[in-house]
Amino acid sequence: MHLEISHLHKEFAVKKNKIVALQDINMHLDSGEFVCVVGASGSGKSTLLRLVAGLDFPTSGEINVDGSEVVGPGADRGMVFQKYTLYPWLNVQKNVEFGLKLLGVTPQKRKEEASYFLNIVGLTKFAKSYPKELSGGMKQRVAIARALATNPKILLMDEPFGALDIQTKENMQQFLLEIWHKTGCTILMITHDVHEAVFLSQRVYVLSARPGTVKEEIEIDLPSDRDYTIKRQPQFHQQADAIIDLLRAISGDRDN
């Protein structure tokens, strides 16, 4: 899998004016990578992810997955939003099966695939439960299982833990790393949390505020096999502080 974003430009018409959300964005992502995008509010992070997902269209530039231009939503890209977007009238099993049903997968195969991913996310015992019976972290696990069940080439995540309390958020971060190692999936994740980005990813793209541009691409020099204890290490804080300082400098440039 190779994702290539080339000279991406996105602007919105607001009344008689045009707002440039993203300007000359160039990024890449290869198979099995975990990459995060960070930036201040207004940097166009979520807009970028919607463009990669095919939920919106660039003003100019291209997004390609394995050489094919993104022209709309597709099964090669799975999406996990900050809000859980589960169907309240479907139980957990049926929620995970939903994307497979849209793809025309047979009922038996849907059941097998959904059961496999519910086991991966540790929710087999809750297959018959409904979303209202689950905690926030459990709902997001279901959303991740549903996205993975269609076997996408890349998993797109838009601040997936932003609505969770701190303890649940940290547990979900560790859980996501475990899923990444178990499945070998490719992940592009948007977050405003620098420490989350450093803990999870191999590379971080830092966006400036509007218009969003790539200010820097930063390699995260930490072991791939991480747990929460790494957040206590000086190396972790050095990398996080460097990104925070860069974001502050960007903000200062914008205000001057």
Per-residue model confidence as pLDDT tens digits over 58-99: 999 999 999 999 999 999 999 998 887 899 999 999 999 999
Q: For residue 256, what pLDDT is reported?
A: 45
- What pLDDT, on the 0 to 100 scale, is given for residue 134? 95
pTM (global) more than 0.85: yes
Count the alpha carbons within 13 Å of 137 in the hemisphere toward its beta carbon. Answer: 15
Per-residue model confidence as pLDDT tens digits over 165-202: 899 999 999 999 999 999 999 999 999 999 999 999 99
